[in-house]
């Protein structure tokens, strides 16, 4: 940590830094409208883009003019005008797998509007496929993994016209060649990094659907107090992206940010959206104590694992304002949980939900259907467990999706379902179809929905997504229904 602080101190004391840096998230994907079968639905904003907000915070402390901008709602003509008007010397583009095509399009527009600018891309997809995102010539640099130190080092060298070869953790273009620099060590403490510049965004624009309606109108934001996860669930890429490590902020550092958010920005609701909030229970308890001792008035919620909670910690969480906890339950089948490498059992799920209920906190869950080994029998096991644990809200039900950086992706490649070249297309990440076709996967999802939320199931049936609909799809043949798959995926419960 001392080394990280020293590097940031040196970088922010560099003289005569004048570069302007624009950091953007690309326009949001337009969802398929099940009524029109056209991609014309603009989804609501859910998260303040903490990635570019964190980069902007680090760059500003280092003396750069860094402007983060969420382009979620903008059309492409407007994006081009924004880029041209920015006069940026560096354009940083966030690249996640679902939005990779839009990220590439932003990079191309940046090159056209600002031919002298350096275009930098980062994020999970760029980290997993850096050569692909550089292949069309519109991206000059890819930052691998966490970006704060790399972006500050990169900006400092670009500002001085210096070579980039000694910036750890990047790929960069040198003439017609692409060079890879030495790996960058990750810090186990995040306290050295400045707070994200959340004030650059209108918080009222962002409303996560997981937040209960009673809290939706409160000024709120997401906060991340740790990064990474030491567990190795086979459908998840977090472990690989963060190199198997879990790093964290100290309780005092978290509390300091909460005081800034509540005191300066009027925040009254916080969603701690760490992948694993409570790996260290003592840290969570210290955060809760600090919220009470400092008089920080917020309601909040968090995400964690069922085997990372206990009665004492949950009691402190409730006293400090926690009203909801989301658990990644995924399945009620012991066999499926083992196949996923979740490393917990349905009995542990039931215990965690019981403790959470007893603490006065609403427990909720994420579920997944379609993992290898899924069947109507395993769905029935999940229905039985969910009805026993009584989640406070309808579970979020997803279908197993093939994503880079996961074991399910490597399995899918071995099975011939996908190749690395797939990501050069604009197509959304595919569902895992190694054992069930898309109709069967959606039918399994509907079966689970009928078991855990019959009211929603009836609504979907009223919309036409009933057993008769799927029977007609099969009669019409697979090809006739292919165009409707995305419409179904957007309409089905998540």
User: pLDDT truncated to tens, each residue of the chain (494 aa)?
Assistant: 444 444 344 344 444 456 899 999 999 987 777 777 777 777 888 889 999 999 999 999 999 999 999 999 999 999 999 999 999 999 999 999 999 999 999 999 999 999 999 999 999 999 999 999 999 999 999 999 999 999 999 999 999 999 999 999 999 999 889 999 999 988 778 999 999 999 999 999 998 889 999 999 999 999 999 999 999 999 999 999 999 999 999 999 999 999 999 999 999 999 999 999 999 999 999 999 999 999 999 999 999 999 999 999 999 999 999 999 999 999 999 999 999 999 999 999 999 999 999 999 999 999 999 999 999 999 999 999 999 999 999 999 999 999 999 999 999 999 999 999 999 999 999 999 999 999 999 999 999 999 999 999 898 888 887 777 777 777 776 554 454 454 444 444 44
Structure tokens at 21: 């840096």
By three-state DSSP, how is residue 31 classified? strand
311 & 451 share domain = yes
135 shares a domain with 270: no
d(CA 133, CA 141): 10
* CA–CA gap between residue 54 and residue 142 (Å, rounded): 17
CB count, 10 Å around CB of 482? Answer: 10
pLDDT of 1 = 43
Residue that terminates a domain, selected from 180, 195, 225: 180
165 DSSP assignment:
T
Residue 101 located in a structural domain: yes
The pTM of the full predicted model, rounded to 2 decimals, is: 0.89
In a domain, 189, yes or no: no
Does 343 map to a domain? yes
Structure confidence at residue 187 (pLDDT)? 74
Beta bridge partner(s), residue 401: 431
Is residue 265 one of the residues assigned to a domain?
yes
Given a contact cutoff of 8 angstroms between Cβ atoms, the answer to whether 99 and 52 are in contact is: no
Using CA atoms, how far residue 185 sits from 6, 94, 247, 296, in Å, is 15, 21, 12, 35
Residue whose token pair is 């906890």: 325
Is residue 197 in some structural domain?
A: no
Are 155 and 240 contained in the same domain? no
The reply to whether 391 and 288 lie within a common domain is yes
* Residue 185 within any structural domain of the chain: no
- Are both 83 and 221 inside the same structural domain? no
The predicted structure's pLDDT at residue 6: 44
Write down the pLDDT at residue 30.
Answer: 77
Domain count, the chain: 2
The candidate with the shortest Cα–Cα distance to 239, out of 186, 193, 194, is: 186
Distance from C-alpha of 218 to C-alpha of 237, rounded to nearest angstrom: 32
Give the pLDDT of residue 478: 52
On whether both 368 and 241 belong to a single domain, the answer is yes
What is the maximum span of the chain, computed from C-alpha positions, in angstroms? 71
Domain CATH for 100: 3.40.50.280
| Distance in angstroms (rounded) separating the CA atoms of residues 141 and 21 | 14
What pLDDT sits at residue 3?
Answer: 42
486 within domain boundaries: yes
Domain of residue 119 covers: 2-180
Question: Do 263 and 359 share a domain, yes or no?
Answer: yes
Predicted local confidence at residue 477, as pLDDT: 61
Task: Please tell me the predicted confidence (pLDDT) of residue 21.
Answer: 97
Last residue of a domain, one of 145, 180, 215: 180
164 and 226 fall within a common domain: no
Same domain, 92 and 241: no
The closest of 294, 352, 297, 291 to 317, measured between CA atoms, is 291
Residue 179 C-beta-side C-alpha neighbours within 13 Å? 12
Q: Residue 18's pLDDT is what?
A: 67
User: Is 30 a member of any domain?
Assistant: yes
Cβ atoms 171, 179 nearer than 8 A? yes
Output the CA angle 432-94-239, nearest 5 degrees: 50
Q: Which of 76, 141, 146, 161 is nearest to 112 (CA)?
A: 76
Do 241 and 284 sit in the same domain of this protein? yes
Same domain, 268 and 397: yes
pLDDT score for 333: 98
Please state, in angstroms and rounded to a whole number, the distance separating the CA atoms of residues 138 and 132: 11
pLDDT score recorded for residue 14: 45
Angle between helices 438-452 and 467-476 (to 10 degrees): 180
- Give the CATH number for residue 439: 3.80.30.20
CB atoms within 10 A of CB 449: 25
**172 and 319 part of one domain:** no
pLDDT recorded at residue 215: 92
* 146, two tokens: 């966490």
* Cβ partners under 8 Å of residue 96, min gap 6: 103, 123, 124, 125
């Amino acid at each position: 940590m001392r080394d990280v602080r020293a590097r940031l101190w040196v970088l922010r004391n560099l003289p005569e830094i004048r570069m302007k840096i624009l950091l953007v998230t690309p326009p949001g994907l337009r969802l398929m409208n099940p009524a029109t079968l056209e991609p014309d639905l603009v989804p609501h904003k859910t998260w303040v883009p903490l990635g570019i907000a964190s980069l902007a915070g680090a760059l500003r402390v280092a003396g750069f003019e860094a402007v983060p901008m969420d382009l979620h709602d903008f059309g492409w003509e407007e994006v081009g005008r924004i880029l041209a008007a920015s006069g940026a010397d560096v354009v940083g583009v966030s690249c996640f797998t679902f939005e990779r095509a839009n990220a590439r399009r932003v990079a191309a527009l940046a090159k056209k509007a600002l031919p002298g600018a350096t275009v930098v891309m980062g994020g999970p997809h760029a980290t997993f496929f850096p050569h692909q995102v550089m292949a069309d010539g519109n991206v000059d640099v890819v930052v691998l993994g966490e970006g704060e130190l790399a972006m500050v080092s990169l900006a400092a060298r670009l500002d001085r016209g210096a070579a980039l070869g000694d910036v750890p953790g990047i790929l960069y273009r040198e003439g017609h060649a692409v060079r890879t620099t030495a790996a960058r060590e990750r810090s186990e403490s995040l306290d050295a990094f400045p707070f994200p510049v959340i004030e650059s965004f209108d918080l009222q624009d962002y409303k996560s659907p997981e937040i209960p309606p009673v809290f939706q109108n409160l000024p709120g934001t997401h906060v991340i107090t740790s990064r990474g996860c030491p567990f190795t669930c086979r459908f998840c890429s977090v472990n690989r992206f963060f190199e198997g490590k879990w790093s964290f902020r100290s309780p005092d550092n978290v509390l300091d940010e909460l005081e800034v958010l509540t005191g300066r920005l009027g925040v009254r609701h916080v969603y701690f959206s760490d992948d694993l909030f409570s790996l260290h229970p003592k840290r969570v308890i210290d955060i809760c104590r600090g919220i009470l001792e400092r008089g920080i008035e917020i309601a909040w919620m968090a995400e964690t694992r069922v085997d990372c909670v206990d009665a004492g910690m949950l009691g402190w969480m409730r006293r400090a304002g926690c009203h909801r906890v989301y658990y990644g339950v995924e399945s009620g089948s012991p066999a499926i949980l083992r196949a996923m490498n979740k490393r917990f059992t349905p009995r542990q799920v039931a215990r965690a939900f019981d403790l959470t209920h007893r603490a006065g906190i609403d427990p909720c869950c994420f579920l997944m259907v379609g993992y290898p080994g899924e069947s109507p029998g395993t769905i029935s096991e999940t229905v039985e467990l969910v009805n026993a644990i009584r989640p406070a809200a309808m579970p979020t039900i997803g279908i197993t999706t093939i994503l880079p950086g996961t074991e399910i992706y490597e399995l899918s490649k071995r099975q011939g379902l996908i190749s690395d070249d797939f990501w050069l297309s604009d197509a959304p990440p595919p569902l895992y179809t190694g054992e069930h076709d898309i109709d069967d996967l959606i039918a399994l999802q509907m079966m689970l929905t009928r078991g855990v939320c019959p009211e929603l199931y009836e609504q979907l049936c009223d919309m036409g997504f009933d057993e008769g609909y799927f029977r007609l799809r099969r009669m019409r043949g697979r090809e006739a229904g292919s165009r409707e798959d995305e419409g179904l995926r957007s309409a089905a419960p998540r």
